[in-house]
Structure 1
Amino acid sequence: MFWSVTAYDNLTASGLDNGQPFPSLNQMDKPAQNSDGSTDIYFGPESPGSGKNWIRTVPGKGFLVIVRLYGPKQAFFDQSWKPSDLIKQ
């Protein structure tokens, strides 16, 4: 399975113009993983620190997040696995 997470401008539905080459993260980026194999992704205008998976947002601008799964495994279809909700910190 291949996954991608992208931040979009909530008014225009286009990729969030955040100064990064792409407002996204995917497996090709080789994101840091937790010891259990899960991946945390941080959204915000400031980097959460070195070694963190971060998608920059724009202060005062709303955004939405789309998770794409390519070739998902059975666990997705039988709902024994689902992506976690976004958590505001």
Structure 2
Amino acid sequence: MTATSDARLKDIIGDFEPRDLSGIRLAEFTWKASGEYAVSPIAQEVQEEAPEYVHADHEGILGVDKAGLALERVAFLEGVLRKAGLL
């Protein structure tokens, strides 16, 4: 997956300070329409802690920006490891 990230297109406003989002759980479930198994955060639960990662489509169905959420979680964990002298 590639996303546009060219500095020439951005107005940088500062360094990102990641939050502890460990309270957002991953749920195991099956999709009602297909019965297909999946693991994912639940949009309504993400919305409570990090609403910027939740978006609604034209029918009001919620989706999660999993890449953004994962990036913040990894950045937070890197900070924890760095403070502990493990990174």
TM-score greater than 0.5 by the shorter chain: no
The higher-RCO structure (CA 8 Å, 6+ apart) is: 1
- Find the structure with the greater CA-based Rg: 2
More helix by proportion, 1 or 2?
A: 2
More strand by proportion, 1 or 2?
A: 1
